[in-house]
Structure 1
Amino acid sequence: MSDNRFILEKYLPTTSYFQQKKFDCGNKLINKFVHSSLKKQVSRHFSQAYVLLDVEENERFSAFYTLTSFKLQGNELEIISKGSLPRDIPCVRLVMLGVNISLQNKGLGRKLMSDALHRVHRASKEIGIYGLYLDADPNAIKFYLSLGFTRLDSGSLDDIGKMFLSIDTINSLLD
């Protein structure tokens, strides 16, 4: 698969994306979000989204992710803390990420995460960001662990995983 096959761009709620209403990543919650809530979330500034368009298929809506501001409580980060933390910890939250079923296991999720990490890295140079937080679907926990995320809760691999990647780790990966 060539790098020229896909375009990654900021999602514009005023644009009609080819096949967005038929997007299927295999996760009902994410699919429903893309079909009925993504446009509203972005247009109301609750999050920003980035969409991967497949040039070979009429710029089909093929993958996406969303970011928003978030805060964690200091005690939620005790597992990774190297000292005392303030009560409120500013971070970025990866709300949703999905890749169309037909394109899974081709490295596109990693490409989206690389783009997200670069955005968090750049934003951290302007405002206080302690890291990137996400709630991982049980089927995606191993994927996020492979990217360096730490699981903050003690749930099993069958539970939603609260996961975090510190800005220090992000910066060391990207600087």
Structure 2
Amino acid sequence: MMPPCCSTCSIARRNPMQRCSGASSDSWKRNMAIVKIEALGKAHDVANFDCGNTDLNHWLRTTARQHQKNNTSKTFVLIEEESPTVVQGFVTMAIRDVTPKDDLPVAMAKKLPVNVAGYTLARLAVSANAQQRGYGERLLFEAMERVCQASRLVGGFAMFVDAKDGAVDFYKKYGFIQLPNDPDILVLPIASMPEFPNG
């Protein structure tokens, strides 16, 4: 069962290899709405965002911009062209602390150094009013593409996610694997992600 903050991805299944490049500027049409993902800015109305999860709502309203300013994490919001200040969903990403390879699944840890670097998908939420539109999937692909771009520049082994509120099954659909000793944390090696275009 999907948590209230994640899309159930009723979107017709499409190959992420064929998605648009240019993550921050591309728009796409879905259910008669043209949407795009862009960096969280002052114009975005975070005060009225409601995904059904009090903690995620509070974090977006009170903390996301502060972390953006301090460069401790980056938040990207999904908006519809007809209402460009209304946040329909958001994803937050950050550098992850070094992870001991012993925490990883055994098969994945082979031939890796003792500690591995990576990225964290810290938060992903979709407005309760924007469910069933595939926005959760779109935000996840956005995070994957940005991680791929970053890894080309500075390296990094994988993207990790702490799947709260029963979201484990959502991420497993996209290839994420649970850590043996902490099944609420999932990992996806960057080498297993789609080959997103450069740019």
TM-score, normalisation: structure 1: 0.86
Q: Are 2:158 and 1:135 equivalent residues in the alignment?
A: no
Q: Which residue of 2 aligns with 1:25?
A: 51
Q: Which residue of 1 aligns with 2:13?
A: none
RMSD: 1.9
Counterpart among 129, 135, 140 of residue 102 in structure 1: 129
* 1:31 positional shift: 0.9
Letter in 1 for 2:144: L
Higher helix share: 1
Q: Which residue of 1 aligns with 2:112?
A: 85
SS in 2 for 1:26: coil
* 1:84 positional shift: 4.0
Alignment map for 1:115-154 (pairs within 5 Å)? 115-153=142-180
* 1:168 positional shift: 1.2
| Alpha carbons of structure 1 residues 38 and 80: separation in structure 2 relative to 1, 3 Å | farther
* 1:154 positional shift: 5.1
Q: State the Cα deviation string for residues 41-94 of structure 1 (Å, max 9, x = none).
A: 111110111111122335311111111111212111143425243232110100
SS in 1 for 2:147: helix
SS in 1 for 2:43: coil
Q: Which residue of 2 aligns with 1:163?
A: 186
* 1:144 positional shift: 0.2
Q: State the Cα deviation string for residues 143-169 of structure 1 (Å, max 9, x = none).
A: 10001100114567xxxx100000110
Letter in 1 for 2:74: Q
Once the two structures are overlaid, the 10-residue window that deviates more, 2-11 or 128-137, is 2-11
| Alpha carbons of structure 1 residues 100 and 168: separation in structure 2 relative to 1, 3 Å | same
Instruction: Give every structure 1 segment of 4 or more consecutive aligned residues whose post-TM-superposition deviation is greater than 4 Å.
Output: none
Conserved 8 A contact 1:151-1:162:
yes
Letter in 1 for 2:82: E
Q: Which residue of 1 aligns with 2:91?
A: 65
Q: Are 2:182 and 1:174 equivalent residues in the alignment?
A: no
| Alpha carbons of structure 1 residues 94 and 58: separation in structure 2 relative to 1, 3 Å | closer
Letter in 1 for 2:94: T
Provide structure 2 residue ranges, at least 5 long, that are not aligned to the other structure: 1-29
SS in 2 for 1:118: helix
Q: Which residue of 1 aligns with 2:20?
A: none
Higher relative contact order (CA 8 A, sep 6+): 2
Letter in 2 for 1:17: H
| Alpha carbons of structure 1 residues 45 and 76: separation in structure 2 relative to 1, 3 Å | same
Letter in 1 for 2:35: F
SS in 1 for 2:185: strand
Q: Paired residues, what number?
A: 166
CA distance in 1, matches of 2:107, 2:57: 32
SS in 2 for 1:40: helix
TM-score, normalisation: structure 2: 0.76
* 1:106 positional shift: 1.5
